[in-house]
Structure 1
Amino acid sequence: MSDNRNDVSRAWGLEKLGIERRASTYWNPPTAVLYEHAVRRQEGLIAYGGALVVDTGAHTGRAPNDKFTIDEPGSRDKIWWGVSNHPLSEESFERVWARQRAYMADKELYVQDCYGGADPRYRLPVRIVTEYAWHSLFVRDLLIREHAHDVLRAFVPEFTIIDTPHLSADPATDGTHSGTFILVHLAKKLVLIGGTQYAGEIKKSVFSLLNYLLPQRGVLGMHCSANYGRDKDDVALFFGLSGTGKTTLSTSPDRRLIGDDEHGWSDDGVFNFEGGCYAKVIGIHAESEPEIYETTRMFGTVLENVVIDPETRKLDLDSKRLTENTRAAYPITHVPGADPEGLGGHPRNIFLLTYDAFGVLPPIARLTPEQAMYHYLTGYTSKVAGTEEGVNEPQVVFSPCFGAPFLPLHPKVYARLLGKKIAEHQARCWLVNTGVTGGPYGVGKRIAMPITRSLINSALAGELDDVPTKVNEAFHLSALSRVPRLPPDVLDPRASWPDPEAYDRKAAELARRFEENHRRIDVEI
């Protein structure tokens, strides 16, 4: 069955996957229709201003331990097996897949046919099949839409992602770690998701697929945001894990946003993998982050786990009652001045963002290409509360390429590509600490966003290119002696601590962690 409005012949229907249908299938419904369905099915509430507010239940972040890559001959020797890529047998996959097909037969389903990748030469046609209407809206916001009806009718997906939140795995028979599952079968071109309502698993599955496919074509996949200045050749990249400020720092009124989270870098330049943004909104205000704040008051935005008054429908963006990982998913056209094409030239500046919970790194430092590659492979930051299951306060992590959970291939594959492109295009590289200063987490204060923006603007303007530096051997960076319009003590984290000797002890502790991680990288990577 299907609704009459979308009852058209298709080149590649769900029957091609062996999915029987005894309920309605809604093909590429627009935003307004998805709102109606989400409200009718009691999946969410419409907030004051027009956003759709939803609750993701027990899972308010990704579940990395529940993601598996199927161990099959075609991809086995390419995958970086280990902490980030867990193997699962084809037999286990088939058991879950058979159960999921049977489960879907009597369920209303929502289908969005879209693309990962703004560059037509590298984009991935992907079909997203969801049990929830709001998940379909989330996908419509974040991926790249196809608007032509004739193209949609003839759409043939290269990969299909199927999301059924209320279907759980059986760890005893399926070999999973819990009832939650994210199963990636590269040979069958399928991703199966279940046991979680958190929509971010869909988004990151597309990113992981592109990170597997594109490097084999000489294109670097990057966990970064990107924007450009007066022309498309003035591109800046902002690498970093969730919570480091990628979205906030790339959303600037005097620069055009290419994208906020995932990009490719080809021989022709940078291109967005997505068509929307997925921003953390905990504690944001109109004064400090006006562009992102305004999206929380727009029709089409999906707000995850934001506290809402059920009577007045007013939002409480400061509340952490459900999670710190409150999110807004919205189309990039919600951002004033964003580039809807999602294309730019080659980067002039590359910023590696870290949330330093130790409070010992400077707010900005210049990096030589060698230092940049060291920090890229190190990927130091602190996971912030709510980003993943079980993270309730910042934890120090080392995530190669600032995105280990999304790297199907060996980190050195991505590092070699980045190093080659930095050398070819003479990109300037910087380490930016968006974490705390004046003491460790719990004692010090987070570096104010206006200060970080000022430092980045100075770097973009070329004002820091000739500033004298002093090499910090322990942390592989070049500390700046001064920055225009800012007092010198802002650049010196030791001077911000009331007890300099306490700073020295904490710095030595973090330096030891860096060295231990570097030795591990030499062995494992």
Structure 2
Amino acid sequence: MQVSSVRNPVADLSALGIVQTNHVYFQQDPAELVIQTVNLGQGTLTDSGALAVNTGKFTGRAPKDKFIVKDELTASTVNWNDFNIPIGPGSFDRLYERITRYFTGKDVWVRDCQACADPAYRINIRVITETPWASLFAYNMFLRPSEEELEDIHPDWTIIQAPGCLADPATDGTRQENFAVVNFSRRMILIGGSAYTGEIKKGIFTILNYVLPQNHGVLSMHCSANQGEKGDTAIFFGLSGTGKTTLSADPRRKLIGDDEHGWAANGIFNFEGGCYAKCINLSEEEEPQIFHAVREGALVENTGFYPGTNSVNYSDKHITENTRVSYPLHYIDNALIPSTAGIPKNIFFLTCDAYGVLPPISRLTPEQAMYQFISGYTARVAGTETGVTEPVTTFSTCFGAPFLPLHPVQYASMLGEKLRDNNVQVWMINTGWTGGPAGTGQRIRLTYTRAMVTAALNGQLEKLAYKDHPVFGGSIPESCPGVPASILDPRNTWTDKEAYDRQAKDLAEQFVRNFEKYAGHANPEILSASPRI
């Protein structure tokens, strides 16, 4: 066995049960990991210097195959549901033995890294992988301790990722051969059968969503965040594809982070040290900061190339629409490092409304904000998924249901308290359609969305006239700098006004049906913000 490292991790691996490995590579720098990936035939250098890989069978998370070990610690604290699926300690033990034994005779990459930019809440993570490019992903996405800091770091959590290790559902208690298992008692995450790197990222997010609210009173959030020249902080909530990364990467504001943050008593902080941006249809014109971050050290996943070249074709979705790129946060020129900031002044709920019903911008009361936060609405668009022929409504509570081990009302209650205590303004932004549903209407221009967000951040919407939406209740500004007034009221953009009313009524009914499972936990003020049918 050969070891490449600044210190010898073999004893630590042996303590985990990973023995008789071939090469052990510890804390390799990005250039070495790229060379190893290319030499192993696992990736290609693009003309921008980024490393491109194919994650194989899985090009996204597999939420039905993510499990949490149900034991004395979690039995009464985890909100068991379709996303938090229980698995027994015995099944975990069998998978643990299987995945550690799998590394026998194989090369192993080990990386020590951290999460949480605020030192008061920081955790140490050890990521053990069977491919060099997965270790590069961990380097890009988590905080990178210096060589001196490594001497004092001892892992709080361990991730073991082995895409080639397959479960036996008949004996291991899994649904199929792939698995992602979180064990809060043993502080360990096992990932097998899938090379999709997002499982690593979201595994850590899941554990922070459990630990921070319960143990530290910190609200964990699936959001991006940035800071203005005057130090004002803005937060952007939204599901994948609604514009979190795009809208937070504003060259006039400092980027705090693009996906995961905590809100403590003294301000917010980024969980991560990098960005994991969708890059389908990425262009220099529309998203220059992200486009220029796809360079040496960045990891591009599941993209296609122009024929006969190593130039990425960002419009190519023959592998998946969920093409991704990971890169360190400092690849964004105006990144705020360390990634900590003050109490938010503005919060934006982003939704891609494919029905063309919601206004492009509306101001929410705290009660409306709580209702929308618990609802977590967006819509998938026809043509982006096999079998989807028309818009499909998606409700993901707190804009991140698959990653929330606790009951949604716990997160919602924490947000409500912070909104009231800090007088935070909340806005609903529709980045989807206007003038009709997808296929009939038009997608709201990104330039208009940017202008609306900018106007809200600059206080230009404070003294304008507003009118309430008759169904969803948010207040619609009657004008906005840089935006045609004709698109602000969505009903006015439809040729057939009665068709709009029917579509709005239908969407409102979907909201009400979805909220029924939370109604028993919501107070009268939140319930009063329900859409009016």
Query: Counterpart amino acid of 2:251?
Result: P
User: What is the CA distance between 1:474 and its match in structure 2?
Assistant: 2.9
Query: Counterpart amino acid of 1:285?
Result: S
User: What is the CA distance between 1:390 and its match in structure 2?
Assistant: 8.6
Determine if contact 1:64/1:388 at 8 Å carries over to the other structure.
no
Aligned equivalents of 1:519, 1:201: Cα separation in 2: 31
- 2:471 maps to 1:474: yes
Determine if contact 1:359/1:437 at 8 Å carries over to the other structure.
yes
| Greater mean alpha carbon deviation, residues 102-111 or residues 474-483 | 474-483
Query: Counterpart amino acid of 2:421?
Result: E
The 1:367/1:338 distance shift into structure 2, 3 A limit, reads same
User: What is the CA distance between 1:172 and its match in structure 2?
Assistant: 1.9
Aligned equivalents of 1:389, 1:220: Cα separation in 2: 36
The 1:236/1:300 distance shift into structure 2, 3 A limit, reads same
Which position in structure 2 is the counterpart of 1:334?
A: 331
User: What is the CA distance between 1:393 and its match in structure 2?
Assistant: 7.4
Per-residue deviation, residues 458-504 of structure 1 (Å, max 9, x unmatched): 00011112223233353242222222342221101122223222211
Picking from 168, 172, 177, the partner of 1:170 is: 168
Aligned equivalents of 1:303, 1:231: Cα separation in 2: 34
Which position in structure 1 is the counterpart of 2:266?
A: 268
The 1:386/1:358 distance shift into structure 2, 3 A limit, reads closer
Aligned equivalents of 2:333, 2:314: Cα separation in 1: 21
Which position in structure 2 is the counterpart of 1:23?
A: 22
Which position in structure 1 is the counterpart of 2:158?
A: 160
Picking from 182, 185, 190, the partner of 1:184 is: 182
Query: Counterpart amino acid of 1:419?
Result: G
Picking from 235, 246, 257, the partner of 1:248 is: 246
User: What is the CA distance between 1:523 and its match in structure 2?
Assistant: 4.4
User: What is the CA distance between 1:386 and its match in structure 2?
Assistant: 10
Describe the SS at the equivalent of 2:120: coil
The 1:58/1:88 distance shift into structure 2, 3 A limit, reads same
| Greater mean alpha carbon deviation, residues 383-392 or residues 253-262 | 383-392
Describe the SS at the equivalent of 1:121: helix
User: What is the CA distance between 1:11 and its match in structure 2?
Assistant: 10
Query: Counterpart amino acid of 1:433?
Result: N
Describe the SS at the equivalent of 1:196: coil
Aligned equivalents of 1:386, 1:424: Cα separation in 2: 43
User: What is the CA distance between 1:301 and its match in structure 2?
Assistant: 0.7
- 2:412 maps to 1:415: yes
Picking from 304, 307, 312, the partner of 2:304 is: 307
Aligned residues between the structures: 521
Determine if contact 2:21/2:108 at 8 Å carries over to the other structure.
no
Aligned equivalents of 2:11, 2:379: Cα separation in 1: 44
Which position in structure 1 is the counterpart of 2:531?
A: none
Determine if contact 1:226/1:238 at 8 Å carries over to the other structure.
yes
Describe the SS at the equivalent of 2:121: coil
- 2:86 maps to 1:100: no
- 2:513 maps to 1:516: yes
Aligned equivalents of 2:355, 2:341: Cα separation in 1: 35
User: What is the CA distance between 1:154 and its match in structure 2?
Assistant: 3.9
Aligned equivalents of 1:316, 1:393: Cα separation in 2: 27
Matches within 5 A, 1:390-401: 395-401=392-398
- 2:56 maps to 1:57: yes
Describe the SS at the equivalent of 2:158: strand
Describe the SS at the equivalent of 2:119: coil
The 1:299/1:388 distance shift into structure 2, 3 A limit, reads farther
Aligned equivalents of 2:237, 2:6: Cα separation in 1: 44
Determine if contact 1:113/1:127 at 8 Å carries over to the other structure.
yes
Which position in structure 2 is the counterpart of 1:493?
A: 490
Aligned equivalents of 1:275, 1:394: Cα separation in 2: 35
Determine if contact 1:62/1:389 at 8 Å carries over to the other structure.
no
Which position in structure 2 is the counterpart of 1:375?
A: 372
Describe the SS at the equivalent of 1:520: helix
- 2:56 maps to 1:86: no
User: Unpaired runs of 5+ in structure 1?
Assistant: none
The runs of at least 4 aligned residues of structure 1 exceeding 3 Å deviation read 9-12, 383-394
Describe the SS at the equivalent of 1:13: helix
Aligned equivalents of 1:389, 1:101: Cα separation in 2: 36
Describe the SS at the equivalent of 1:145: coil
Per-residue deviation, residues 115-137 of structure 1 (Å, max 9, x unmatched): 11111110111111111111110
Which position in structure 2 is the counterpart of 1:237?
A: 235
Aligned equivalents of 1:394, 1:48: Cα separation in 2: 37
Determine if contact 1:63/1:389 at 8 Å carries over to the other structure.
no
Query: Counterpart amino acid of 2:84?
Result: N
Describe the SS at the equivalent of 1:162: strand
Determine if contact 1:272/1:343 at 8 Å carries over to the other structure.
yes
Aligned equivalents of 2:364, 2:428: Cα separation in 1: 7
The 1:524/1:89 distance shift into structure 2, 3 A limit, reads farther
- 2:257 maps to 1:259: yes
Per-residue deviation, residues 230-252 of structure 1 (Å, max 9, x unmatched): 133x0000001110100000001
Aligned equivalents of 1:153, 1:21: Cα separation in 2: 25
Which position in structure 1 is the counterpart of 2:313?
A: 316
Q: TM-score, length-normalised on structure 1?
A: 0.95
Which position in structure 2 is the counterpart of 1:42?
A: 41
Which position in structure 1 is the counterpart of 2:116?
A: 117
Aligned equivalents of 1:128, 1:68: Cα separation in 2: 19
Describe the SS at the equivalent of 1:237: strand
Which position in structure 2 is the counterpart of 1:447?
A: 444
Describe the SS at the equivalent of 1:144: coil
Describe the SS at the equivalent of 1:463: coil
Per-residue deviation, residues 193-218 of structure 1 (Å, max 9, x unmatched): 01111100100011111111100211
The 1:169/1:352 distance shift into structure 2, 3 A limit, reads same
| Greater mean alpha carbon deviation, residues 442-451 or residues 7-16 | 7-16
| Greater mean alpha carbon deviation, residues 436-445 or residues 333-342 | 436-445
Aligned equivalents of 1:323, 1:501: Cα separation in 2: 37
Describe the SS at the equivalent of 1:300: coil
Which position in structure 1 is the counterpart of 2:199?
A: 201
| Greater mean alpha carbon deviation, residues 489-498 or residues 402-411 | 489-498
User: What is the CA distance between 1:359 and its match in structure 2?
Assistant: 1.1
Determine if contact 2:10/2:24 at 8 Å carries over to the other structure.
no
Determine if contact 2:381/2:438 at 8 Å carries over to the other structure.
no
**Structural RMSD (CA):** 1.9
User: What is the CA distance between 1:162 and its match in structure 2?
Assistant: 0.7
Per-residue deviation, residues 310-333 of structure 1 (Å, max 9, x unmatched): 742111111111111111111111
Determine if contact 1:116/1:210 at 8 Å carries over to the other structure.
no
Aligned equivalents of 1:156, 1:28: Cα separation in 2: 14
User: What is the CA distance between 1:422 and its match in structure 2?
Assistant: 1.2
Aligned equivalents of 2:363, 2:303: Cα separation in 1: 37
Describe the SS at the equivalent of 1:351: strand
The 1:32/1:389 distance shift into structure 2, 3 A limit, reads farther
Query: Counterpart amino acid of 1:256?
Result: K
